[in-house]
A and B are shown apart, each in its own frame.
Chain A
Amino acid sequence: QKEVEQNSGPLSVPEGAIASLNCTYSDRGSQSFFWYRQYSGKSPELIMSIYSNGDKEDGRFTAQLNKASQYVSLLIRDSQPSDSATYLCAVNKGAQKLVFGQGTRLTINP
C-alpha cells in the first residue's frame, strides 16, 4: 500500500462546476496535510494546508480532512480553465518530511 494515494486521472470537469480531488493516506499518526498545484513544466505551488478535522476554505478552494477515515480532499468551486493542472497531495511523515502522492491531473473544459 502506498503511503499517499491519489487517483491519477485525468479528471475532466466543465467550466463553472465543482472539481473534487481525493487523497488517502496510510499513517494514522500524520498531523499535517497539504495540497499543491503544479502546472506543466513548473514547480509545485502550495495552495492549501489543513491540520484538523473538518473543512478549511480559502477563496474557491476548500480542503476537507477526516482523520478517522484517513482521507483528505480538495474542492474547487466555479472551476476555471486556469485551474487545469496536476494537484499533489502531501502528508507530513514526521521528522520534518513530507510524502507526496503521485498527483491527479485535472482538466477544466470551457
Chain B
Amino acid sequence: AQSVTQPDIHITVSEGASLELRCNYSYGATPYLFWYVQSPGQGLQLLLKYFSGDTLVQGIKGFEAEFKRSQSSFNLRKPSVHWSDAAEYFCAVGAPQTGANNLFFGTGTRLTVIP
C-alpha cells in the first residue's frame, strides 16, 4: 500500500525567500504524485502532478516539484515566496493502475510567510 510522509509540520519563510517542502513516499513501483494547497476555509487545489516522463514538473503559481526515484521523494519548490502562498500544503500518492482514484495524503505542512 502507498503512504506519504511530510516531515515538516510547520515552516516559516520570509517573503521573497526560496521554499522547499519535503515529501517522501512509500510504494513498490513508480507512483503518481500530487501536490495540493489548502487555504484557510477552502478546499484543496491541485498545484502539480507527476505521472511519468520529465522528473521536474512545473505547476501553477510558480511552483515546481522534482521526482527523485532513488530518494523516494517529490519535494515542492518555489524560488520566491509571496505572502499569498501562506497555506497548508499536502503531498499525495496514487497508484498508476488506479490513477487519482485512490489517493493517500500526507499530514500536511503549514507554511507561514513573514514580511
Same complex origin of A and B: no
Q: Which residues of B are interface residues toward A (Cβ below 8 A)?
A: none
Q: Which residues of A are interface residues toward B (Cβ below 8 A)?
A: none
